[in-house]
Amino acid sequence: MTTPFPCYFVPEQSKRLFGNVSLKTLTFENHGQKAELLVPNLNPELIEQVIKLIKKQQLEYMQNLRTNEIIDIMDEAIQKWLDPKYERRQYAEHLLPIITGYDHEMIRLFLSRYLRQFRKPKLQRMIDEDFPNPLILDEFRPRKSGGLYRAYGPNVITHIFSGNVPALPLWSLTAGLLLKSATLGKVSSSEPLFPVLFAETLREIDAELAESIAILSWKGGNSELEDVSFSHSNAVIAYGGDKAINNIKQKVPSHVSFHAHSHKISFGVVTKECLATTKAWQTAKLAAYDVSWFDQQGCLSPHVFFVERGGKYSPRELAQMLANEMENFQTTHPRASLTKEEQHAILKHRLNVEFESFTNNKVELIKCENSTAWTVVYRDMGENKSIGDTLFPFSPLNRFVTIIPIENVFEIKEYSKNIEGHIQTVGVGCSPKQFSSIISLLGQCGVNRICALGSMPHPQPGWHHDGRFHLADLVRFCDVESSLEDQMDQFDPNRE
């Protein structure tokens, strides 16, 4: 694409403020193509003015909408995006591969599957999951213990979006909209496009709702801009690594609620029943999907698969099957191009494993010979269960995974003890006989989400992200005690 694309979204009322603001160009090159996005050079005064406008619109319009009206608007937007001929969908399918480096077909398939999670029934389920009576977002409702109560979302939320997976900010953006909160979204420099395009769709459907949204770009860590945006918000939702989250946390004022989603780890568990003659290759294919999807960039992607011994095929044989399936995935959905640092990290890990395998036949490196496109490490810990100071072998990402054989699933507790509190998702392949014991064990290990193999990158609506409520954590409740209901009758002028 040769024509620079304006990549920011602000209320119509604020466009005059941007009339004299200079623009800078963000340039992306992948797949032999080039894309240029234009973003404004921001200053604290401009951010403050934008927040005042979206907050005013929230008070005058958005907070008066019923939740079901907002769901209908979102559903209409999603229906547009599910149409392959929709102009903004086509923009996304063309530009996102150039911006992110991900395979075009992977992005197309992901958008179709991911966006369906935001249809009307799914959004209703998301609200029902968090609130016993969803109407408390619209009006005071009776409490079982007596009296009334209502939930209020923040007036303004600043969202620090992630960019490791395209379109992922839709989770955070949707949460704010469902709670009738004005949105100031800071996009990631690695994927600034999707939130802007989706906001434009909302403007097509309800221009007044869109006046409560601003999507802007600035370099993370800019204290001048973040001090203003955080201090003028009622809540801050941030996604990022531990270092970035800690930096943001220090800047958020005490009167502003902070909701962080920092780096998490995921892994898989495969029992011996999944290694039967007719099931092993399917198991390998599902595991390859979980590892390869978006190159392990999300917190939902596995670093390790713990594989139980005793099946028709051994864990070592599964490692080879997994390598074959990852090669097949690479053929249909090539991995994104890497930075020099990312390439170096993989090569360094490979070299360490290769040296170790020369003297230890319980360690094997299976790799793509012509590139770093994928890597499988087989590592039998045996009696010497240690890698440095941890049992858990972290991946350098970008389709690099380790297979660890275990005698039984209860060994997982020992392997995961050093990452307890940081485990996001575990993908499980098991028989009905072991189902209850496995999920009980994983729950005790601090796991937030347990799903089937092949489903790790795709959480279901209403899941408790980081083990917390998706919406309820953001609201404040107002209780009206039954004493007022009882007492007011005494002052009723019509009372006899």
Pairing of strands 363-367, 33-40: unpaired
% helix, strand, coil for the chain, step of 5? 45, 20, 35
Residues 234/256, Cβ–Cβ less than 8 Å: yes
For 104-129, what is the mean pLDDT? 95
Cβ(229)–Cβ(184) below 8 Å: yes
Report the C-alpha gap between 348 and 346 in whole angstroms: 5
Percent of the chain residues topping a pLDDT of 70: 98
Query: Can you tell me the mean pLDDT for 319-326?
Result: 98
Please report the DSSP string for 316-372 in residue order.
Answer: HHHHHHHHHHHHHHHHHSPPPP--HHHHHHHHHHHHHHHHHHHH-TTEEEEE-TTSS
φ and ψ at residue 87, rounded to 5 degrees: -60, -45
Residue 220 has pLDDT above 70, yes or no: yes
468-494 pLDDT, tens digit per residue, is: 888 999 999 999 999 998 888 888 888
Taking only the tens place, the pLDDT of each residue in 373-382 is 999 999 998 7
- In angstroms, rounded to a whole number, what is the distance separating the alpha carbons of residues 240 and 199? 22
Residue 252 to residue 234: CA distance in whole angstroms: 10
What average pLDDT is seen over the chain? 94
Position 96 scores a pLDDT of 97
Tell me, what's the pLDDT at 11? 97
Q: What is the pLDDT of residues 75-95, one digit of tens each?
A: 999 999 999 999 999 999 999
Question: Distance of CA 177 to CAs 12, 201, 213, 353, Å?
Answer: 18, 14, 9, 48
CATH topology match: 5-263+463-480 vs 265-447: no
Asked if 392 and 234 touch (Cβ cutoff 8 Å), the reply is no
Strand partners, 188: 191
pLDDT per residue as tens digits for the range 165-200: 999 999 999 999 999 999 999 999 999 999 999 999
The first and second tokens of residue 248, run together, are 């943001």
pLDDT reported for residue 480? 96
Nearest to 178 by CA among 458, 448, 462: 462
Per-residue pLDDT tens digits for 222-254: 999 999 999 999 999 999 988 999 999 999 999
Amino acid, res. 82: L
Closest C-alpha among 42, 20, 458 to residue 217: 42
Q: Give, in words, the CATH class of 5-263+463-480.
A: alpha beta
Q: Are 249 and 273 in contact (CB under 8 A)?
A: no
Question: Which tens digits make up the pLDDT trace of 138-174?
Answer: 999 999 889 999 999 999 999 999 988 999 999 999 9
Q: Cα-flanking dihedrals φ and ψ of residue 115, to 5°? A: -65, -25
Residue in this structure with the two tokens 């600034």, named with its chain if needed = 192
pLDDT tens digits along 328-352: 999 999 999 999 999 999 999 999 9
pLDDT value at residue 383:
63
* 18-62 pLDDT, tens digit each: 988 999 999 999 999 999 999 999 999 999 999 999 999 999 999
Distance CA 494, CA 434 (A): 66
CATH number of the 265-447 domain: 3.40.309.10
Q: Say how far apart CA 156 and CA 236 lie, in whole Å.
A: 9
pLDDT over threshold 80, residue 105: yes
Predicted local distance difference test score (pLDDT) of residue 387: 47
**Of residues 107, 104, 124, 219, the one with CA closest to residue 174:** 124
How many Cβ atoms from other residues are within 10 Å of residue 484's Cβ?
Answer: 10
389: pLDDT strictly greater than 70 = no
Question: Which pLDDT belongs to residue 207?
Answer: 98
Q: How far apart are CA 496 and CA 492, in angstroms?
A: 9
Q: Where are the domains of the chain?
A: 5-263+463-480, 265-447
Q: Which residues contact 255 (CB under 8 A, 6 or more apart)?
A: none
Provide the pLDDT for residue 391. Answer: 82
